[in-house]
Amino acid sequence: MTTTAIGRTSVPAKYLPVLVTGCLFAAMFVAGGIRYEGFASGQVVLNVFIDNAFLLVVAVGMTFVILTGGIDLSVGSVVALSTMIAASLMAGPGWPPYVVIPLVLAIGSGLGLVMGAIVHAFDIQPFIVTLAGMFLARGLCYTIGTDSIPIEDATFTAFAQTRIDLFADLWISPSVVIAVVVVLVAAYVLHYTRLGRSVYATGGSEQSAMLMGLPVGRTKIAVYTISGFCSALGGVLLSFYMLSGYGLHAVGMELDAIAAVVIGGTLLTGGSGFLLGTVLGVLVLGLIQTIISFEGTLSSWWTKIFIGLLLFVFILLQRVFSARTRR
């Protein structure tokens, strides 16, 4: 019983998971700065953003879906499909980017819309529906082509090579700007619009939300559409980064996105979590990779083991917090 008193007097319990993730990020950064030369610079953090802009966008979409208590396994495949469609349309028929990019975004949103509609209309588990979506999108990739298609379009290469200089030798890529805009818009939608409130309400308790007269069905369809849009946008950003379209891009990215959302303190049962947490989650994942590349001697598979350990610690923390608030 004393635990509740502590919970009440200090930071509100709902901010605790995000705070913990923030502290972890800071601690990792400081530890890295002490251990490695040249680590403690602003550019290292910005590089994490530059290398993970696409993951950030995808994770934002995933946050919406998970907040309603659903899950979207199709994101990685939709990212790959987007790079593939963009690359093949520009390489083959030579379509201009200002046609290709909106088309890709529309296809991604359309796929999300269809999956959301099936989840809502036929009461099939989101896990299974998005799994079928994952197979479908990956299959479409291979149908378009099994080889990697290079992108040589001037606009895309410009996006890939432009450096936006900030103060004091720091720089970011245009993708980071897009990702940050997406995060800000998404945060606005989640916290200041009717849709955002419905998302939280649906995740909290679908039945209560329905009894309150909230459009649960429309909300569910909307979040999968948002996730589809974000995946397609993530695909466009990835094709800026990779300058190619390939059916094997972004394999397993759905796991990274889910891991980022969980590490960011969002409950997978839905109804509780913040976008800031997801941003921090992506940063933590990115920083792990940076540290492992700085360490040099550690092999790449340690990344996976560390991410697994982190997931474990965070889920344990979440469990402790939710047990406290319930009592």
Partner 1 sequence: MRRLLWPAVVLVLLLALNVFFTPSFFSIQVRDGHLYGSLIDILRFGAPLILVALGMTLVIATGGIDLSVGSVVAISGALACLQISQDAGVFTAVALALGLCLVLGAWNGFLVAGIGIQPIIATLILMVAGRGLAQLITGGQIITVNSEAYKVIGGGYWLTVPFGVLIVLAVLGITAFLTRRLALGMLIESVGGNAEASRLAGIRSRGIILMVYAFAALCAGVAGLMISSNVSSADGNNAGLWIELDAILAVVIGGTSLAGGRFSLGGTVLGALIIQTLTTTVYSIGVPPETTLLFKALVVTAVCLIQSPSFREKAFRRRGRTAPPSPAHEEKVRVTA
Q: Which of 10, 41, 143, 208 binds partner 1 (CB under 8 A)?
A: 143
Q: Exactly one of 29, 55, 59, 138 binds partner 1 (CB under 8 A); which one?
A: 138
Nearer to partner 1, 283 or 307 (CB): 307
Helix (H, G, I), strand (E, B) or coil at 31: helix
Q: How many residues does the chain have?
A: 327
Q: Which of 113, 132, 180, 317 binds partner 1 (CB under 8 A)?
A: 132
Q: Does 3 bind partner 1 (CB under 8 A)?
A: no
Measured from the CB atom, the residue of 146 and 162 that comes closer to partner 1 is 146
Q: Which residues pair with 171 in a beta bridge?
A: 165
What SS3 state is found at 233?
A: helix
How, if at all, do strands 164-165 and 149-150 pair?
Answer: unpaired
DSSP 305: H
The DSSP letter of residue 298 is S
Residues of this chain, 47-86, that bind partner 1 according to CB under 8 A: 71, 73
Residue 317 interacting with partner 1 (CB under 8 A): no
Backbone angles phi, psi at 83, to 5 degrees: -65, -40
Site string for partner 1, 196-225 (x = CB under 8 A): ----------xx--x---------------
Instruction: Verify binding: residue 131, partner 1, rule CB under 8 A.
Output: yes
Question: CB neighbours (10 Å) of residue 138?
Answer: 21
CA atoms within 13 A on the CB side of 314: 32
**Interaction of residue 147 with partner 1, rule CB under 8 A:** no
* CA 242 centroid distance within chain: 18
**Shorter beta-carbon distance to partner 1: residue 176 or 261:** 261
Q: Is 164 helix (H, G, I), strand (E, B) or coil?
A: strand
249 binds partner 1 (CB under 8 A): no
Which residues between 29 and 48 bind partner 1 (CB under 8 A)? none
Structure tokens at 105: 């975004």
DSSP label at residue 14 = G
Write out the residues near partner 1 by the rule CB under 8 A: 71, 73, 118, 121-125, 127-129, 131-136, 138-140, 142-143, 146, 206-207, 210, 255, 258-259, 262, 268-269, 299-305, 307-309, 311-312, 315-316, 319
